[in-house]
A and B are shown apart, each in its own frame.
Chain A
Amino acid sequence: MFTLALSDEERLIQDTARRFARDRLLPGLRAHERARGVPRELVGEFAALGLTAGEDLGAFGRVLVLEELAAVDAGAALALDAGGLAQPLLDAAGLGAARGRGVVIEDVEGRFHARDGRLAGEHPWVPADEIAVAVVLHPERALIVHEGWRLTPIAACGLEAAGASRLALDDAPIAATLEDPRALRRARAGIRTAVGALLVGAARGTHEYAMRYATERTAFGRPIAHHQALAFLIADLATAVDIARLAVWRAAAALDRGESAEWEGASALAEAAEQALFVGPNAVQILGGHGFMKDHPVEKSMRDIRTLAQMAGGRDEAELAAAALVPERELGFAGRGDRCP
C-alpha cells in the first residue's frame, strides 16, 4: 500500500540542505546575484556536506536537496551543484563526477553539428560563466565535450548567481557519445526531474514569502490575506506547489526503482513549470508595488522561475515528449499492483 513519508535519512538530507540554504545562501542573496556566483568557500562548504550531483543520493535525495536550495536561491543551487544537470549523462557514459560545473543543452533547433569526432555550434544561453563539461543532447544521442568552448558572459532574465553565457563550440573534441536509448531516456528523465525540483523550490520559497507578507500587510482594515480574493489565490498557489512537488517525487521514485521514467520525468517538468509559472508572477502580485521592487525577493523568484522553465528544453520539449508517449499511456490500475499506476 502506498506511503508518502520520508525516511529518517531523507529527512536528514532535507534538513541539512534547508539549514545550509537558510544560513549560508540567504544572507548573500543579492550579493551572489551581483557577483554572478557564490564564493568559492561556500562551494567547498556545500561539497563537504556530500549533497552535490556527483554524490550517491539517488534521484530522490537529489530532488530533496535541489528543492531546499532553490527555495532560497535557484541560481545559487546551480552554482553549488557541481556537474549538476550534466551529471546523469556523465554517469550513464561512465565518466564519473564532473570536475566543475556542467551544462546540458537540449539542441532543439539543431544548432550543433558533429563531424570527424568534433562538435561545432552556438547556443544563446547557458546558466554558467565557467564550466568543466558541456553536453549537447540530440534526440538519439548525447555528445559530451570537456574542452573547446568559448563562453561569452551575457545578462540573463534570472538565475544570475549561476552566471550566464553564450556558448560556442569551435570544433570541440567529443569526449564521449552516449547512444544507448534506455540510458538516454533515463538520463533525460533525471535532468527533467532535477529541473522540476528546482522549480518546486523556487515556487515554494516565493509562495511562503508572499503568504507571510499577506498576513502582515493590512489594507482596508485587515490583513490582505483575509480578503477572499487573495485568500483564494494563496490557497491555489499552495496547491500548485504541492502538485508540482508530488509530480517530481513520483518521477524521482520511478528513477530510483530503475525505470526509464520517461513519462514521469517529462510530466514532472511540464507540471512543475506550469505550476511555478503560475506561482511566480502571482507572488509578486500579492506584494503589489513592493513585489516589483528589489527590496523583496519575489521579483527575483519570478525571473528565476521564468528562466528555469527554459532549461533542459523547457516546458515545450517536456510536453512534446509526453504527448509522443500518450497514445499508449494507460492510467488505470490493472497489472500495476507493484508499481506506480
Chain B
Amino acid sequence: MSMIDLSIGRDLEAQLEQVRRLGREHLRPLGIEADSRREPVPPDHPFFALAWRMGLGQPLGVEERPAGGPRTGARRGVVLAEEMSYWDRGMSVAMPGLGLGGPPLLSMGTPEQKERFLAPFRDRERPHWAAFGMTEPGAGSDVAAIQTTAVRTGDDWVLNGAKTFISNSMRADWIVVWATVDRGAGRAGHRAFVVERGTPGLEDMRYEHKMGLIAYESSSFTLRDCRVPAANLLGGERYYAERAGFKGAMRSFNATRPAIAAMAVGIARAAYDAARDFARTHYALDRPIPRYQRVRDKLARMARKIEAGRLLCWRAAYLADLEQPNEIEASMAKAFAAGMAQEATGLAVEILGDAGVTRDAYVEKLYRDVKAMDIVEGTGQIQRIVIARRLVGLPR
C-alpha cells in the first residue's frame, strides 16, 4: 500500500460543509448580485458581520507555527480556498480577515507588532480587513521597481508615492505598504510599513472598475507626506540590516501562491458544474449525436484538467507544510491552474452555445472573473521566469 494519500480527512470535510453552506446561501448570490450591480459588496453588509462572528475569514494557508506535530495550514488553505472560490472568488477575497497583509506581518513582524496589529482581528463583533500594497501604476510584475519613497524624519517615516489595484484597502484597518529608502538600491532598499487607516497623507482612495471579480474592491491611493511611526516599520530596523527586505515580500508570495492557484481551480470547477448541469438538462448526452459527443469530450477534458491543477496545488501546499522549498511547485501550480481555468471557463461558454455569452449565463461571469487569476500574485509569465531561474539558472 502506497504512502500517497489523497484524502482530505473527515475534519476538513466537516469544515468544508460549513463553507458549502456559506457559499450556497451567501457567497454565490452576493457575488452574482455585485456583478450585476457592478459594485463591490459594501463593508457594512450584514453578511460580513455574520461571517466574521462565525470565525470565517480568508483562507490563505497562513498559520503560526503549531506547538507540535506537522503543519497542515497550507494544505487546509488550498482546499478551503478552492471551495470558497468555487462559490465566488470575488467574495472569497472580499471576506474579512488579514488577506495578503497577513503573511508579511506574521513572517516579518516583531512580537510587539504582531500583538498590536492582530489585536483588532480578535474582535469578533465587527469585521476587520487588512491589505497589502505593493503594486504601483508603474510597477506591477517588476516589484523591485517601486517608486514610493520612505524617508526617516525624527521618530517617523514619511512616505510618498501611489499604490494601485490594492484589494480591500478602502476598508482595511491597516495596509502593509512597500516603499524604498533608495530608488537606486533595488530590492535592498525596500521597507514594509504598516499604515493604519486614518493616517494623515493616506489620500485619494478610489475604486478601480474591473472586468470581473466585482464583489471585492480593488482600490488605488496616494501617499502624500504620509507620516508613519517608526514602530510601524515591519520587522524593525534590524530586519533590514540583514538585507532581508525584498525576501520578506517574496516569502509572502510563496506562502500564498498555492492557495491563489487553488482559487483558479475553484472557478474552473464552478464552470464545469454549470456547464455539466446545463448539458444534462438541454442535451441528450447519451445519444450518438456529434454535437453531444463534443460536449462530453469538453466536459471530460475540463474535469481532467481541473483535477490536474488541484494536484499541483496540493503538492505545493504539502511542501509548504513540510517547510521544504516549494518555489518551483508553487509557480507550476499557479501558472498551470490559471491557464487551465481560462480554458475551462471558455469551454463552458462553448457548451452553452449562444446562451453562454449572455449576461444571464453564470459561465459568462466566470469567464470574465477568471482572467485575473493569470495576472494577480505573479502573471503566468512571471511564474515561468521563477521556474526557469530554478531549473536552468535564467538570470535576472
- Residues of A participating in the B interface, judged by any CB pair closer than 8 Å: 1-7, 10, 58, 60-61, 211, 214-215, 223, 225-226, 228, 231-232, 234-236, 238-239, 242-243, 246-247, 249-250, 252-253, 256-257, 267, 270-271, 319, 322-327, 329, 331-341
* Interface contact B13-A333, CB-CB below 8 Å: yes
CA distance A61 to B12 in the complex (A): 29
Nearest-Cβ distance from residue B352 to partner chain A, whole angstroms? 16
* Interface contact A2-B7, CB-CB below 8 Å: yes
Return chain B residues, CB-CB under 8 Å to A231.
Answer: 384-385, 388, 392, 394
* Interface contact B10-A239, CB-CB below 8 Å: no
Return chain B residues, CB-CB under 8 Å to A242.
Answer: 312, 315, 329, 332
Q: Does B297 contact A (CB under 8 A)?
A: yes
Partner of A322, one of B300, B308, B312, B394: B300
Return chain B residues, CB-CB under 8 Å to A10.
Answer: 2-3
- The interface centre, meaning the residue of B280, B306, B393 with most chain A CB atoms within 10 A of its CB, is B393
- The interface centre, meaning the residue of A60, A329, A331 with most chain B CB atoms within 10 A of its CB, is A331
- Minimum CB distance partner of B283 in chain A: A327
Instruction: Using A226-B395, A232-B388, A247-B308 as known contacts, say yes or no to A253 and B6 having CB atoms under 8 A apart.
Output: yes
Return chain A residues, CB-CB under 8 Å to B14.
Answer: 337
CA distance A3 to B10 in the complex (A): 15
Nearest-Cβ distance from residue B80 to partner chain A, whole angstroms? 10
Near A by CB (< 8 A), chain B positions 14-36 give 14, 16-17, 20
CA distance A214 to B388 in the complex (A): 11
Q: Does B144 contact A (CB under 8 A)?
A: no
- Residues of B participating in the A interface, judged by any CB pair closer than 8 Å: 1-14, 16-17, 20, 72, 75-76, 79, 83, 86, 269, 272-273, 276, 279-280, 285-286, 293, 296-297, 299-301, 303-304, 306-308, 310-312, 314-315, 318, 328-329, 331-332, 335-336, 381, 383-385, 387-388, 391-395
CA distance A70 to B28 in the complex (A): 47
* Interface contact B392-A225, CB-CB below 8 Å: yes
Nearest-Cβ distance from residue A248 to partner chain B, whole angstroms? 11
Return chain A residues, CB-CB under 8 Å to B308.
Answer: 243, 246-247, 271
Instruction: Using A232-B384, A333-B83 as known contacts, say yes or no to A322 and B304 having CB atoms under 8 A apart.
Output: yes
Main secondary structure of the interface of A (DSSP, over half): helix
Given contacts A252-B2, A341-B310, 16 further A-B contacts (CB under 8 A): A2-B75, A3-B3, A3-B5, A58-B2, A60-B2, A61-B2, A225-B393, A228-B388, A235-B383, A238-B328, A239-B332, A257-B1, A267-B304, A267-B307, A319-B301, A326-B300
* Interface contact A4-B314, CB-CB below 8 Å: yes
CA distance A324 to B300 in the complex (A): 8
Nearest-Cβ distance from residue A265 to partner chain B, whole angstroms? 12
* Interface contact A1-B306, CB-CB below 8 Å: no
* Interface contact A327-B385, CB-CB below 8 Å: no
Return chain A residues, CB-CB under 8 Å to B332.
Answer: 235, 238-239, 242
* Interface contact A339-B7, CB-CB below 8 Å: yes
CA distance A271 to B304 in the complex (A): 8
18 contacts between A and B (CB under 8 A): A1-B8, A1-B12, A2-B8, A2-B9, A61-B2, A211-B392, A215-B393, A228-B385, A246-B312, A253-B4, A271-B308, A326-B296, A327-B280, A331-B306, A336-B8, A337-B10, A338-B7, A338-B10
- Minimum CB distance partner of B393 in chain A: A215
- Minimum CB distance partner of A338 in chain B: B7
* Interface contact B7-A214, CB-CB below 8 Å: no
* Interface contact B293-A323, CB-CB below 8 Å: yes
* Interface contact B2-A256, CB-CB below 8 Å: yes
CA distance A54 to B257 in the complex (A): 42
CA distance A3 to B387 in the complex (A): 23
* Interface contact B303-A326, CB-CB below 8 Å: yes
Nearest-Cβ distance from residue B384 to partner chain A, whole angstroms? 4
Return chain A residues, CB-CB under 8 Å to B315.
Answer: 4, 242, 246
Return chain B residues, CB-CB under 8 Å to A336.
Answer: 7-8, 13
- The interface centre, meaning the residue of B7, B272, B331 with most chain A CB atoms within 10 A of its CB, is B7
* Interface contact B6-A270, CB-CB below 8 Å: no
* Interface contact B8-A5, CB-CB below 8 Å: no
Nearest-Cβ distance from residue B268 to partner chain A, whole angstroms? 9
CA distance A340 to B306 in the complex (A): 14
Return chain A residues, CB-CB under 8 Å to B3.
Answer: 3, 5-7, 10
- Minimum CB distance partner of B6 in chain A: A340
Return chain B residues, CB-CB under 8 Å to A5.
Answer: 3-4, 318
Instruction: Using A2-B314, A239-B332, A334-B20 as known contacts, say yes or no to A319 and B300 having CB atoms under 8 A apart.
Output: yes
- Minimum CB distance partner of B389 in chain A: A231
- Minimum CB distance partner of A6 in chain B: B3
CA distance A257 to B72 in the complex (A): 24
* Interface contact A327-B276, CB-CB below 8 Å: yes
Return chain A residues, CB-CB under 8 Å to B393.
Answer: 215, 223, 225-226
